[in-house]
Every structure is written in C-alpha cells, then in structure tokens.
Structure 1
Amino acid sequence: MPATTVAVTGAEGFIGSHLTEALVADGHRVRAMVQYNSFSSYGWLENLPPDVLDSVEVVLGDVRDPGSVQDLVKGAETVYHLAALIAIPYSYRAPHSYVETNVTGTLNVLEAVRHLGIPRLVHTSTSETYGTAQTVPITEDHPINTQSPYAASKAGGDRLADSYHASFGLPVVTLRPFNTFGPRQSMRAVIPTVIGQVAAGERTITLGDLRPTRDFSYVKDTVAAFRAVGTASAERVVGRTFNSGTGEEISVGELVTVIGKLMDAELEIRSDADRVRPANSEVMRLVCDASRLRAATGWAPAHTLEEGLAATVAFFRDPANLARYKTGIYNV
C-alpha cells in the first residue's frame, strides 16, 4: 500500500521539523513548506538524517500567498498548519506582519483545504491566547485574553478556523500547545536562552522577569499530541480545540536553578530591562488542563521536565549545534 501524503506548513522550524521527522517514522510522505528565502535554506530540515529526507518533499513557498498554499496541500490526506510568526517581543515592533502571517496565512490554508476537499486540517494555536490564568488549571473554556499582538493574531486565526468549521463543515481540529521546548528551539525562548548561555561558558545569565510560571512540554510530547489529533476518528476531534501540556508549572527563576544543577554550574542572574515585557502584556501564569485531549485520543506526556532538559542540554553542548546560535545577544 503506498504511503499517504501529509502536508506541513512551518516545517523548517523547531516543532515543525520534529513533527516532519515523526510523520516520516509513521510511514508518511511529507510535503514540507519552508518559507521562501534566497539562500535556499531548509532550516532545521537540513539536520534530519538522509533516510528521513528521502520521504520529504521540500516546497519553498509562503502561507501569505494563496497559490503557494494550494500547491502544497493538493492531494494531502492531512494538513498540519504550524507556520506562524511567534516571537512575542517582535510582535510589538511589527504587528502588521503578524496579522499577515498568522491571520491571513491561516485564512489561505483554510480556503485551500476547503476548496480542495482535504480530509483533515490540524490548526496550531497557543496557550498565550488565554493570557494570565484566571482559573487553574486552564481548560479550553478559559476566557481568551490576548495580551500581546502575537497572541491576538493567533486568536484571530483560531476564530477563523472555528468559523470555517461552523460555516462550511471544514474538518479542522485546533491544538493549543502550552510552552514547548527541546533541541532546535530558537534562542528567543527562555530554556534555550539559559542553556545556550551556560553551554557557551557564561555563569552570569541575562534574563528578564523571573516570576512568570509556565507549563513546559518536551517537544516529542507536543509532536505526539499533533499526531494524536491528526489521526483520531473525526467524531472525536473535528471541530474541537484541545490543550496539550503537562499540568505542572515552574517559574523562570526556579527553572534556572534546575538547569544549573543539570549542567553542574553555579549561576547568577542579571536582569535586563530590554527583556521584560510591558507590565500589562506579561502573562504571569500558565498551567494546562489537557484532560479533554486525553479523553478524546489517549494522549499523555511521556517525558518529565528533567528528561527533556537533559536532552536539550546535550543538544546545545554539541559545538556544531551551539555554533548556529548567537548566545551573547538578546534574540528578539
């Protein structure tokens, strides 16, 4: 029986590259959209083993262009839509670009899936759409409270996905991951920021606010959640939104202590005002209730925070990997 084709937008990124690798391991052929660039760079896909890449068709394109999206999804059994602008600090500087990518780009994916009759679309949301927790743990019924232009643009994409299911019966399911970490993550995120600085020899770590708490999931668990909602029976998942997360929270300050112990390093923290979000924009607490996802698909996280951190430390301690990062600057 020939392998089925699935399509992934944002395949060159952190989670997208891990998802692409896992989908190939599941026996699929993956049509992977990489944002067009003049360097012909495939991002993190270039780090996948040759036998994995044999089952990946890399397509240079852009979700902001409807034609690119139509060509990508044509003939796919499932579309995983991960392409997005995600850096919160940069969304303060360039909010228009977030709307173009995260709202209009999502609209283009929805339209392509609708007109080409694709059987399943998995749309990616973010826990940032909830804002600071009003009740904990956060269920999918928690109010949406967008505290940054990034969060607002992602909530806009979510609402479009919901409307296309209600209006056209589009077979879309939304996954809302809480904070994901692991190898290949951008230095704009807190865990690579800390580990990268330590791996580069720093013992005074530059950070922003240490008080916010987050629910951190290892990337393989988040990828498993994508695969779960992508393959579950339609009656269980289509038209619904699902959180994925561990249900455990840790503050940024406590996280630094855990990483210091793992890396056998005594760390001091230096506060950098440039890394602190505007007061009303900082999300102070996020902790996930993933019981809806567990009930619908059987998904559950398989890795502890410490296990995931150990794998991430090993990645950044590889000189070839560390060389790809700029650990001495604030990566917006």
Structure 2
Amino acid sequence: MAKQTVLLTGASGSMGSEALKSVMETGKFKALVLLRKKPSNEKLKKELEQRYGDGVEVVFGDISNPGDCVKVVERSDYIINCAAIIPPASDHNPQAAEKANYLGVKNLVQAIEASKDADEKKFVNIGSIAEYGNRFFPAHWGRVGDPLVSSPYDFYAVTKIKGERCVVESGIKHWVSLRQSGILYDDVLFNNMNDGLMFHTCWNTFIEWATARDSGRLIRNLILLDSQGKLPSS
C-alpha cells in the first residue's frame, strides 16, 4: 500500500520542524515540504534529503503565492500548515504577517477546494491562543466558542483570526484549526532578548506553554490516528 503524503509548511520553524521529525518517525508517510527559497532553507533541504532520502521532498515556494499552493496541495493527502510570522517579527513587519498568516491560509484553503479530490484531503491549520486576547482572572480559561478579540496592537492575533475564519467558512470537508499556546523551544529566551517582547507580559497574567517536541507529537498522533480510522467523525 502506497504511503500517504503529508504536506508541511513552516518546517523551518520550531513547531514545523518537530512535526516533520515526529511524522517521519512513524515510517508510514511521505513528506512534501514547502520552503521559501533562501540560503538557510537551501541548507535545510540538503540536511533533510540526507536524513530521510526520498521520504522527504522539498519544494521551494511561498504560501503567499496561490500557484505554489496549488502545485503542492494537489499531490497531498494531509495538509499541515505550521507556517507563520510570529511576534516580534510580526510587530516589525506586519505586511509579512498578513501574507503568511492570512493570505497563505486563504491560498491553501482555495487550493484544497479547487483540487479534484477535495473531499478526501485533510487540512490541519495552526491557530493561536492569541486570538482570544489578554485573559485575566477569573476569565483566564479560553474555550472554543469564546469571542475572538485580539489584544490592542497585536496584529499577529488579527492575522491569525482572519486566517482561521477562512478555514471555518470554507467548503473543506475535513479540517481542524488548533489554537496553539506559546511554544517552548531551544534558545527561546536567547532568541527574544534583543526585542524585549518577553517583558510585555503582565504580572497578573496566566501563561500556558507547550514544548515544540510535544507539539510535533500532537501533529503525528492526529494524522496517524486519522489514517487508522481511530478518530471520531465529529
């Protein structure tokens, strides 16, 4: 039986890289990785090809380009969208955040809807708890169905809300949007020292974290259980 193909965007990021690693550890899927063409990703392409051989195919492109999305979506069974421009980069370059977090999702959705086997494709979008805005005690627990109200000046959250709305209102038959918490990854503190973003956290706020490794396991288990018919239909 031929292996199913998993399209992964954002594989150069903290969650995407762990998702790719966890999915490939199963030995049950082929991976199609969409990366923007730049020196660091050309290096990553070589590393992935050396590690996984023909189990991983890297395609250079951009989810903000509709044509690039069509080419890779058409060849995929599962579409995992981990691509995002996150804070503080989204604060300094809101145009890039709009392209990745909103237009990119829109392009993937439209590519799935237009594909010849649209009803068979499964779409996993990574949203964010930032969509809920600041949540202080006693209303600090975010729930599905709660209003999505971004915090003032948080353009990242705005783009994630817009992107998720594209998914919710789409004609895709099989989809889920996972509102991810903050991700703990190697060097997370070191990588955020220069901007000072970490010091924006209020003293009386509640913080929820998930590690990059556990986030990767989440994606692996989700598609693995689905491929085995072990997930409920609703």
TM-score of the superposition, structure 2-length normalised?
A: 0.81
Q: Distance in 1 between matches of 2:192 and 2:101?
A: 25
> Aligned partner of 1:144: which letter?
L
Q: Distance in 2 between matches of 1:22 and 1:237?
A: 24
Identity of aligned residues (%): 21
Counterpart contact for 2:10–2:81, Cα < 8 Å = yes
Counterpart contact for 2:102–2:163, Cα < 8 Å = yes
How far off is 1:42 after superposition?
Answer: 4.0
Deviations along 1:68-108, whole A, 9 cap, x unmatched? 11111222110101111112x33333323222221111111
Counterpart contact for 2:90–2:97, Cα < 8 Å = yes
> Aligned partner of 2:173: which letter?
L
Counterpart contact for 1:13–1:44, Cα < 8 Å = no
Within 5 A, what are the aligned runs for 1:47-196? 50-87=50-87, 89-116=88-115, 117=118, 118-133=120-135, 135-147=139-151, 148-164=154-170, 168-183=171-186, 189-190=188-189, 192-193=191-192
1:208 to 199, 216, 226: 199
How far off is 1:214 after superposition?
Answer: 1.6
SS at match of 2:20: helix
The list of structure 1 runs, each at least 4 consecutive aligned residues, that deviate by more than 6 angstroms after superposition, is none
Unaligned stretches of 5+ residues in structure 2 = none
Residue 219 of structure 1: aligned partner:
212
Unaligned stretches of 5+ residues in structure 1 = 195-204, 239-332
Alpha-carbon distance change, 133 to 114 in structure 1, aligned in 2, over 3 angstroms: same
Q: Distance in 2 between matches of 1:54 and 1:13?
A: 22
Residue 37 of structure 2: aligned partner:
36
Counterpart contact for 1:18–1:223, Cα < 8 Å = yes
Counterpart contact for 2:48–2:56, Cα < 8 Å = no
Deviations along 1:137-160, whole A, 9 cap, x unmatched? 222233211121111001100111
Residue 17 of structure 1: aligned partner:
17
Query: Does 2:227 correspond to 1:236?
Result: no
Q: Distance in 1 between matches of 2:46 and 2:75?
A: 25
Q: Distance in 2 between matches of 1:86 and 1:222?
A: 16
How far off is 1:193 after superposition?
Answer: 4.3
Q: Distance in 1 between matches of 2:134 and 2:122?
A: 31
Alpha-carbon distance change, 221 to 40 in structure 1, aligned in 2, over 3 angstroms: closer
Equivalent residues, number:
220
TM-score of the superposition, structure 1-length normalised?
A: 0.59
SS at match of 1:225: helix
Counterpart contact for 1:13–1:43, Cα < 8 Å = no
How far off is 1:45 after superposition?
Answer: 5.9
Alpha-carbon distance change, 216 to 96 in structure 1, aligned in 2, over 3 angstroms: same
How far off is 1:234 after superposition?
Answer: 9.1
Q: Distance in 2 between matches of 1:18 and 1:235?
A: 22
Q: Distance in 1 between matches of 2:54 and 2:175?
A: 29
SS at match of 2:32: strand
Counterpart contact for 1:33–1:61, Cα < 8 Å = yes
Structure whose alpha-carbon radius of gyration is higher: 1
Q: Distance in 2 between matches of 1:234 and 1:119?
A: 17
Alpha-carbon distance change, 95 to 207 in structure 1, aligned in 2, over 3 angstroms: closer
Alpha-carbon distance change, 235 to 21 in structure 1, aligned in 2, over 3 angstroms: closer
Within 5 A, what are the aligned runs for 1:258-269? none
> Aligned partner of 1:111: which letter?
Q
Q: Distance in 1 between matches of 2:25 and 2:157?
A: 32
Alpha-carbon distance change, 59 to 223 in structure 1, aligned in 2, over 3 angstroms: same
How far off is 1:227 after superposition?
Answer: 2.7
Q: Distance in 2 between matches of 1:237 and 1:85?
A: 32
> Aligned partner of 2:161: which letter?
A
Superposition RMSD in Å: 2.8
